[in-house]
Structure 1
């Protein structure tokens, strides 16, 4: 994972790792290995992407986002990583919903300047199981933010991202942009105790660092958020903290040193209901549920 920042500097995010029942390991150089096919329509001229709508957390990056169904008078949502939550890392199988929060976020304008401060009313959703994502519900509506700060929310794309698309990872913490393309998708991405599914793999120019965790991954052609940045393999280790590995359908492990990853966000869209409330029982919502987390812990204890 991209290590969050603390007052003392960069610190490791995870504490310990578990061995994987994988059958093959490959230390491939960046840019090697099997990739998803690049559809012709994915080769689209890039547009300018700005910092407008991104936010800086105390230790990570994020963005004010809206679903296709979100209304101007709905409380706005901030997207970041599950490992960026102020409550600490959710354990494997743990899902956090509707937990009160007063966390503040520095809202950025197009040039990366400080547009103002917005504040959470609760953690609407957070997990590091299957994905690494969090959604905060704010005390301000989209209309409030646009009226007061002149900032519009970023749109969440409701479709699965495409390989080959030009993307920008926009870090509100560092006020820095990383530009590359979607290289392909990892069937499973394992890092320490955590496993994520269908993760976006970057091409090598996106050398993300600590503090970029939670940055929106923006499709340059549409301007929509397609993923949330969360990790990079730092030193070529196999499936350890800060060194994620890819596991395919047959259990084969591939290590891609210095390659970064993000978690797709189209899966969030079906779970956002009326009033921007997170409803994990909505049709099409496949995000892990708290009940499943309790079953996971019970099974692990047996």
Structure 2
């Protein structure tokens, strides 16, 4: 998975860190470049509003992420960071596993709008929600409120859209790990995307221009027109294999399998936005369609 499934993402991130320590910055840049065009912030305008930048973007030790808020979030609420389920520090959740309210002390590097400067470090207190079933998402609750972060760093959170993205939407995938922005359009909504033991529903398939790479896992998918987060980047088919790790396959409603070598995908986040209730809690009730933890057997 992108950036992938943590088995690969962790290995690549660790390898990148080793290279960096050895002074191999050029090797990192070459690795990123060989996977296709990565649009730097400010290269493409839209409607006179200015290009999507790194506002609200964070870097993890092995992945990318973003500072987000839902439609009911208040400035005084503890802030949330969004990334992939496979980026979870305790390891990838198994198929069917849902994690809620797990203590965490994970730190995140908050970037400035250019992506070239770290404004400071944000600290998690717990994993609010994480799963790789139906979607691939982790939501961390922070020790700071949105107001605290805005006052200290001048950084607002990105807003989660409550609507599904339409096919053909102009998007930016913003990676805090690589400090790069990938630009393209959403190409299609995939009924089921299967990778190893995991299956995701209604995944976003990118147009070929979005050649995201390992380390971009957890990057927000931002609708250029609204500036809202409509998804989270999570995988791509590396080797042309069928439904294996780092080689997801598409499954249509009739069960037909299609492999698209070199194509990349993300997961929609409108369900998460709709499930965020008072105090930024993920409320897994009847009106929330996110997977729920398995019931604990009695006695």
Deviations 1:164-195 (A, max 9, x none): 11100000000001000000111000001100
| Deviation for aligned residue 1:284 | 2.5
Is residue 60 of structure 1 aligned with residue 63 of structure 2? yes
Decide whether aligned partners of structure 1 residues 8 and 121 sit closer, same or farther in structure 2, where only a CA change above 3 A counts. Answer: closer
Counterpart Cα distance in 1 of 2:257 and 2:190: 10
SS at match of 1:291: coil
Decide whether aligned partners of structure 1 residues 203 and 96 sit closer, same or farther in structure 2, where only a CA change above 3 A counts. Answer: same
Counterpart Cα distance in 2 of 1:195 and 1:256: 16
Q: How does 1:136-285 map to 2 (within 5 A)?
A: 136-281=140-285, 283-285=286-288
Is residue 105 of structure 1 aligned with residue 105 of structure 2? no
For residue 34 of structure 1, what is the aligned residue in structure 2?
none
Decide whether aligned partners of structure 1 residues 226 and 8 sit closer, same or farther in structure 2, where only a CA change above 3 A counts. Answer: closer
RMSD between superposed Cα atoms in Å: 1.5
Q: Out of 15, 39, 57, which is 1:9 matched to? A: 15
TM-score by length of 1: 0.83
SS at match of 1:138: strand
Counterpart Cα distance in 2 of 1:83 and 1:235: 20
| Deviation for aligned residue 1:8 | 4.3
| Deviation for aligned residue 1:277 | 1.0
Gaps of 5+ in 2: 17-45
| Deviation for aligned residue 1:271 | 1.3
For residue 300 of structure 1, what is the aligned residue in structure 2?
none
Gaps of 5+ in 1: 11-43, 296-302
Q: Does the aligned pair in 1 maintain the 2:14–2:62 contact within 8 Å? A: no
Is residue 129 of structure 1 aligned with residue 159 of structure 2? no
For residue 299 of structure 1, what is the aligned residue in structure 2?
none
For residue 122 of structure 2, what is the aligned residue in structure 1?
118
TM-score by length of 2: 0.84
Q: Does the aligned pair in 2 maintain the 1:53–1:151 contact within 8 Å? A: yes
Deviations 1:270-298 (A, max 9, x none): 211100011101x5310000026x79xxx
How many residue pairs match? The answer is: 260
| Deviation for aligned residue 1:47 | 4.9
Q: How does 1:19-30 map to 2 (within 5 A)?
A: none
Q: Does the aligned pair in 2 maintain the 1:77–1:137 contact within 8 Å? A: yes
